[in-house]
């Protein structure tokens, strides 16, 4: 525990107008240690600092085109042209852009969702996926103070931080099966069954981060059934809708199954990846309630949590989203562009696997094409990852997660060769 | 087939109360009376009572559009160019704290977000330490420290008898606070009262803070907006920094650049060594990661573009003088109208002595309610009016409302 040591100059009265030299004063912050580098964002920092011409960044999950360049979608550029000169920068309401939230709910719950028609969804604009998860964690703490959250192993590292900072006790459930590099379904189901009734379960709606391993439709149905039996609360983190299969409707399948089965769910949605709006921090938190009255109450409480964090959310990204989704032509363009991104990823998965097999790797790499979404859980050890970085200037997180978005036709051969070299003796 | 939803676990959740400040605008919108006046939230309006997007902001946005930059994640600490510009704006580019790299600056979600990050830092590294906030203060300050689990108490500030500063009370309460407390100070244009200490009083406040080994924590939401001069409005912060004190400063560009909805600001921590600043910055980043990962880019780019271009920067200064000037004119007209209409001889000149967007009228809760119910003047129940929502044409009407509410309602 970091207890501050009071500065040694306590009691020293400094005369009026005198400037005390900085060095002579002990700092309040002596006990503040340097924070460890963020495991994910720290990778990009290291990559940027590397002077090697061969360097490859398959670290952070930000989409790149086949030239390794960031992409701004055409639909986004057009939307920005339309909103430029927008005469109003007034504060959004605490719940954010109403229009943006409406369109966002349609994506998750379905265009014709009865829950939307019946106004049963409490929803607020949030600071992308992180902000949505954080708001929900605080909400869970405040209104279900005795509950705990079950988080899959592995998961996006920040999930643990978020719920910990919200003071919600956390447990884990089995998810990834290292031997098969697939889903540990039996253990997952056991954990669902053994959790105390009424626990909260964090589920990745599609394109699980970091493994890329998703349950099949049948498996989702079984998970849904068991969660219902136990009265658990399903909370979906959906950061990759559209990005997994290329079809947003298909990527929302797990959520739709749970809705059909009558669960009251919560969803964190993000436009960081599927609209390329990373830095704009646009997302949405929704909670399905019993009726309209309850939805109004819950929404008011979510706003109450947001107010002491940032008062109201940023407008720019929300305007871009609502402009795109509110215009049939722009929306259609967006759907095309999302498919292009997803297809490129799928193509790179195939290419990476084929290259590895071509190099004669003794290991099985079929998981590369079986996994889905931006990430591939390669199965490499931290030591092998370190070797990849040191010897080949390839940057990825030490859990062996490869961001397929960083793979291009230009670097896939180099990457496959390097991976083969560090793994062939294992 | 849709199965009925189980009994909701959110059954017991009640409606949260409407936000005392943001709720006012919502009520105003719902009012159909044509005489209605919105003096609630502190958002600048033109003389025509329209929202105002600064010309420099439009120029900056067009530049950004032409350049077609990408939308990648900012680093957790925000846009480097923005962080540099914002610290220099606050302290002056030649200030030793900047030259010695002793300021940890992290872009945050406007003033609220900056305060929240600082509160989280205090909670983590100074467990049990108290924050002292002025009585009264901006309504959300308490919520922020409550939610961050930082204990707070109040120091006397507003004196209803003089409608001015209770300086002796303020000094006494700061002196009485446990050693090592954080003292939340409004850098300029105190919200909600509009009452600022003068330079001599600031020196005395700094003295007692140093003597008690407290740490000063400035909320600077109106730099440039109070007097019209960016440098003058940073005077209190620079005075403390010049004494070699370590301090925290939350900044916001909501008002002075009209970027309200973009949520752009910064938390600055001035440390006694560059090494401490590096460590503190790394921990602020850690706390931000838990809340939203990294801050929104759009507003940061606007600010960086404006501050780094001499022509745009000058344009900004001129627009800010214009906005502050309009407020001063409105204060004068309101003061004159009140003096003319109030035959009781009450001294309304405090309106001229106060500074910034807000004026604490001295009206009570019931009197403020009368303002709304009878006169359709929307304001917060603590008696605060936002002069930014007032124009010369409506001063007389407002004066009538104030005189009526003050004298005829108890």
Average pLDDT over residues B101-117: 97
Please list, residue by residue across B189-213, b when 16 or more beta carbons sit within 10 angstroms of its beta carbon and e when fewer do: bbbbbbbbbeeeebbebbbbbbbbb
Average pLDDT over residues B363-373: 96
Q: Where are the beta strands (DSSP E) in B169-264?
A: 182-186, 215-220, 247-252
Per-residue pLDDT, A26: 58
Per-residue pLDDT, A6: 38
Residues from chain A contacting residue B211 (CB–CB below 8 Å):
11, 13
Residues from chain B contacting residue A128 (CB–CB below 8 Å):
292-293
Per-residue pLDDT, B16: 81
CB A313 within 8 A of CB A96: yes
Task: Give the residue on B whose Cα is nearest the Cα of A230.
Answer: B6
Q: Which residue has 């560059």 as its token pair? A: B274
Average pLDDT over residues B337-355: 93
List, for residues B27-63, the tens digit of each pLDDT value: 898 999 999 999 997 889 999 988 899 999 999 999 9
C-beta pairs of B407-410 under 8 Å, 24+ apart in sequence: B407/B342, B407/B344, B408/B370, B409/B366, B409/B367, B409/B370, B410/B366
Helices first, then strands: H and E counts in chain A: 16, 13
Token pair listed for B306: 């404006």
Q: Where are the beta strands (DSSP E) in B253-318?
A: 265-270
Residue numbers of chain A with a pLDDT score lower than 50? 1-25
Residues from chain B contacting residue A313 (CB–CB below 8 Å):
263
Test A4 with B180 for CB contact under 8 angstroms: yes
Task: Give the residue on B whose Cα is nearest the Cα of A128.
Answer: B292
In sign, the C-alpha dihedral spanning B10, B15, B21, B23 is positive
CB B191 within 8 A of CB B42: yes
Per-residue pLDDT, B8: 62
Count of A-B CB contacts under 8 Å: 296
Per-residue pLDDT, A27: 62
List, for residues A339-372, the tens digit of each pLDDT value: 999 999 999 999 999 999 999 989 999 999 999 9
User: Residue A354, Cβ neighbours under 10 Å: how many?
Assistant: 15
Per-residue pLDDT, A60: 72
Least CB–CB distance from A309: residue in B6, B70, B116: B116
Closest Cα in chain B, distance from residue A405 (Å) = 14
Residue B7's pLDDT band, with cuts at 50, 70 and 90, is low
How distant, in Å, are the alpha carbons of A3, B242, B305, B390 from that of B92?
A: 33, 12, 18, 33
Per-residue pLDDT, A339: 96
Give the strand pairing for B37-38 and B377-378.
parallel
CB A285 within 8 A of CB A123: yes
Residues from chain B contacting residue A1 (CB–CB below 8 Å):
127
pLDDT at B89 over 90: yes
Residue B5's pLDDT band, with cuts at 50, 70 and 90, is very low
Strand, helix or coil at A253? helix
- Burial, A257: exposed, middle or buried (Cβ in 10 Å; 0-12, 13-18, 19+)? middle
Per-residue pLDDT, A41: 73
Closest Cα in chain A, distance from residue B359 (Å) = 21
CB < 8 Å from A in window 280-339 of B: 280, 282-283, 285-286, 289-299
A400: left (phi over 0), alpha (psi -120 to 50) or beta: left
CB < 8 Å from B in window 149-188 of A: 158, 161-162, 165
Task: Note the pTM of the prediction, 2 decimals.
Answer: 0.84
Per-residue pLDDT, A5: 37
CB A78 within 8 A of CB A330: yes
Least CB–CB distance from A13: residue in B126, B127, B211: B211
Closest Cα in chain B, distance from residue A89 (Å) = 5
pLDDT at B71 over 60: yes
List, for residues B123-143, the tens digit of each pLDDT value: 999 999 999 999 999 989 999
Per-residue pLDDT, A62: 87
Per-residue pLDDT, A395: 96
Percent with pLDDT over 90 in chain B: 84
Closest Cα in chain B, distance from residue A13 (Å) = 5
CB B217 within 8 A of CB B111: no
Average pLDDT over residues B332-358: 94
Alpha-carbon gap, residue B191 to A160, rounded angstroms: 38
Task: Give the residue on B whose Cα is nearest the Cα of A161.
Answer: B290
ipTM, 2 dp: 0.76
Token pair listed for B331: 């204060």
Task: Provide the Cα torsion B113, B114, B118, B120; round to 10°.
Answer: 10
Among A299, A87, A167, CA closest to B46: A87
Beta-ladder partners of B386: B358
Token pair listed for B200: 């001599």
Alpha-carbon gap, residue B271 to B314, rounded angstroms: 31
CB B388 within 8 A of CB B401: no
């Amino acid at each position: 525990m970091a207890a501050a040591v009071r500065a040694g100059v306590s009691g020293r009265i400094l005369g009026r107008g005198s400037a005390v030299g900085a060095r002579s004063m002990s700092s309040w912050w002596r006990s503040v240690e340097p924070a460890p580098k963020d495991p994910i964002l720290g990778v990009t920092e290291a990559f940027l600092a590397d002077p090697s011409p061969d360097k490859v960044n398959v670290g952070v999950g930000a989409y790149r085109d086949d030239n390794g360049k960031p992409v701004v979608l055409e639909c986004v550029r057009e939307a920005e042209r339309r909103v430029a000169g927008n005469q109003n920068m007034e504060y959004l309401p605490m719940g954010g852009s109403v229009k943006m939230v409406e369109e966002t709910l349609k994506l998750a719950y379905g265009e014709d969702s009865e829950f939307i028609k019946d106004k049963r969804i409490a929803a607020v604009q949030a600071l992308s996926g992180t902000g949505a998860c954080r708001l929900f964690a605080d909400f869970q703490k405040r209104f279900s103070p005795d509950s705990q959250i079950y988080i899959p192993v592995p998961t996006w590292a920040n999930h643990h931080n978020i719920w910990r900072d919200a003071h919600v006790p956390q447990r884990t459930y089995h998810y990834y099966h290292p031997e098969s590099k697939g889903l540990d379904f039996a253990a997952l189901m056991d954990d669902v069954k053994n959790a105390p009734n009424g626990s909260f379960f964090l589920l990745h709606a599609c394109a699980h981060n970091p493994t890329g391993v998703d349950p099949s439709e049948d498996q989702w149905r079984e998970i849904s059934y068991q969660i219902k039996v136990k009265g658990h609360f399903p909370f979906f983190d959906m950061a990759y809708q559209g990005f997994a299969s290329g079809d947003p409707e298909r990527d929302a399948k797990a959520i739709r199954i749970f809705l059909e089965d009558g669960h009251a769910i919560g969803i964190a949605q993000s436009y960081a990846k599927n609209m390329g709006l990373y830095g704009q921090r646009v997302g949405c938190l929704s909670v399905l309630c019993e009726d309209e009255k309850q939805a109004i109450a819950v929404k008011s409480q979510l706003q109450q949590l947001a107010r002491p964090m940032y008062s109201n959310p940023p407008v720019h990204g929300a305007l871009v989203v609502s402009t795109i989704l509110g215009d049939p032509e722009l929306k259609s363009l967006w759907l095309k562009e999302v498919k292009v991104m997803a297809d490129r990823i799928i193509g790179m998965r195939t290419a990476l696997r084929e290259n590895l097999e071509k190099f004669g790797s003794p290991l099985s790499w079929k998981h590369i094409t079986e996994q889905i979404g931006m990430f591939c859980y390669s199965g490499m050890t931290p030591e092998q990852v370190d070797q990849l970085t040191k010897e080949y200037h390839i940057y990825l997180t030490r859990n062996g997660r490869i961001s397929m978005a960083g793979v291009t036709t230009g670097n896939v051969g180099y990457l496959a060769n390097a991976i083969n070299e560090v793994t062939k003796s294992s | 087939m849709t199965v009925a939803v189980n009994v909701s676990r959110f059954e017991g959740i009640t409606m949260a109360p409407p936000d005392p400040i943001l709720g006012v605008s919502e009520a105003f919108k719902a009012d159909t009376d044509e005489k209605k006046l919105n003096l609630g939230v502190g958002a600048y309006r033109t003389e025509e009572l329209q929202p105002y997007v600064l010309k420099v902001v439009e120029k900056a946005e067009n530049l950004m559009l032409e350049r077609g930059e990408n939308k990648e994640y900012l680093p957790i600490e925000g846009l480097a160019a923005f962080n540099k510009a914002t610290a220099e704006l606050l302290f002056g580019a030649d200030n030793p704290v900047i030259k010695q790299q002793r300021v940890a600056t992290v872009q945050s979600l406007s003033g609220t977000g900056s305060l929240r990050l600082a509160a989280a830092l205090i909670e983590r590294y100074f467990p049990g330490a108290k924050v002292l906030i002025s009585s009264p203060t901006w309504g959300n300050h308490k919520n922020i420290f409550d939610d961050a689990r930082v204990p707070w108490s109040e120091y006397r500030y507003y004196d209803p008898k003089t409608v001015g500063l209770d300086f002796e009370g303020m000094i006494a309460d700061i002196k009485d606070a446990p050693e090592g407390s954080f003292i939340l100070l409004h850098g300029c244009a105190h919200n909600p009262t509009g009452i600022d200490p003068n330079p001599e009083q600031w020196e005395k406040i700094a003295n007692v803070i140093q003597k008690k080994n407290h740490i000063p924590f400035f909320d600077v939401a109106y730099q440039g907006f109070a007097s019209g001069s960016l440098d003058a409005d940073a005077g209190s912060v620079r005075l403390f920094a010049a004494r070699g004190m370590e301090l925290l400063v939350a900044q916001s560009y909501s008002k002075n650049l009209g970027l309200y909805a973009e949520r752009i600001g910064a938390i600055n921590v001035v440390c006694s060594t560059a090494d401490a600043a590096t460590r503190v910055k790394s921990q602020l980043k850690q706390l931000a990661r838990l809340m939203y990962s990294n801050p929104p880019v759009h507003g940061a780019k606007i600010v960086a573009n404006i501050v780094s271009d001499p022509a745009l920067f000058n344009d900004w200064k001129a627009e800010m003088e214009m906005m502050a000037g309009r407020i001063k004119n409105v204060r004068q007209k309101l003061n004159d109208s009140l003096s003319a209409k109030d035959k009781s001889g009450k001294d309304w000149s405090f309106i001229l002595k106060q500074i910034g967007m807000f004026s604490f009228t001295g009206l009570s809760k019931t009197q403020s309610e009368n303002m709304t119910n009878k006169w359709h003047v929307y304001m917060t129940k603590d008696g605060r009016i936002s002069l930014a929502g007032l124009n010369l044409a409506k001063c007389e009407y407002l004066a009538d409302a104030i005189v009526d509410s003050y004298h005829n309602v108890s």
